[in-house]
Amino acid sequence: MKSFFNKVRFLFKTIGLVLITVYDSIIVLFNTFFNSKKYSFFEHSRKWSRRLLKFSGVKLNIIGLDNVNTNQTYIFISNHSSLFDIPVLFLSIPVNARIIYKKELEKIPVFGYMLKKSPLIPVQREDPRKAFESIQQSIDSIKEDVSVIIFPEGTRSRSGELGEFRRGAFNLATRSGKLIIPITIIGTNRIIPKGKLSISTGEVTVIFSPPIKPPQNPTAKEEKEMMKLTRNIIAMNLSSETSK
């Protein structure tokens, strides 16, 4: 009987999250076509995120927000363990930011078309040439005074443990010359675990660490050291928070 109610609860929450996302996707598309001059995709993303978290019963705890200067643009480097990471970041980051997403998501009805029309940045990882183009698009975004959010693990972690980082994010950071802010997300893997039919309530913690300035014209060795430093900061935050 408990298993039956768990399935019903999961179905109810899934339908609710889908309806909220479809509703907001339609609003985005409408404003994109008819109200583009006054419309802010970033601000609406925050409204969508707030609705999702409230419906799911997720409490957000933000640490280190004073490390983000709202008059600057950054490259935000974050760990990734759940689909909920995206709304959590949109709601936590106080500056206009664009996320790099997998182009395959554009195949999702309504939501995928909204992504395609949005200012977010698609990437085709299996195509090196097009992946490079997305990096260039990210640099162009930063030049427009817009920050970029990157998940350097490349995919979601099932366990919540930190995976290995890919160098693309740090190549972007060094080419843009912008500050890197490591972000640690704790708890989203328990809200929507990868590969499980479960949506839970709970608390999510987001930690903004102090900015890291990439060296100018870095060597491959310096780039790897910066990547290692950023990963170590996130790993340390994960370890200290989960051990409490």
User: Per-residue pLDDT averaged across 221-239, rounded?
Assistant: 90
Selected residue with higher pLDDT from 102 and 207? 207
The percentage of the chain sitting over the pLDDT mark of 90, rounded to a whole number, equals 27
Interval 83-134: pLDDT, tens: 889 899 999 999 988 887 777 777 877 777 778 777 787 776 666 666 666 6
CB neighbours (10 Å) of residue 157? 16
> Helix, strand or coil for residue 195?
coil
Selected residue with higher pLDDT from 106 and 53? 53
The mean-pLDDT minimum among 52-61, 89-98, 171-180, 190-199 falls in 190-199
- Domain 2-242: give its CATH superfamily: Glycerol-3-phosphate (1)-acyltransferase (3.40.1130.10)
Query: pLDDT at position 60, please?
Result: 94
Query: pLDDT at position 139, please?
Result: 65
Q: What is the mean pLDDT of the chain?
A: 81
Tokens of 83: 């689909």
Closest CA to 224 of 155, 180, 171, 183: 171
Tokens of 225: 């050291």
Radius of gyration, CA atoms only, the chain: 18
- Type of residue at 235: A
pTM assigned to the model: 0.85
Tokens of 187: 């708890």
Query: pLDDT at position 220, please?
Result: 82
**If phi over 0 gives left and psi between -120 and 50 gives alpha, with beta otherwise, what is residue 124?**
beta
Residue 215 has pLDDT above 90, yes or no: no
Q: Where residue 159 falls among pLDDT bands split at 50, 70, 90?
A: low
The percentage of the chain sitting over the pLDDT mark of 70, rounded to a whole number, equals 79
In degrees and rounded to multiples of 5, residue 209 shows phi and psi of -85, 165
Residue 135 has pLDDT above 60, yes or no: yes
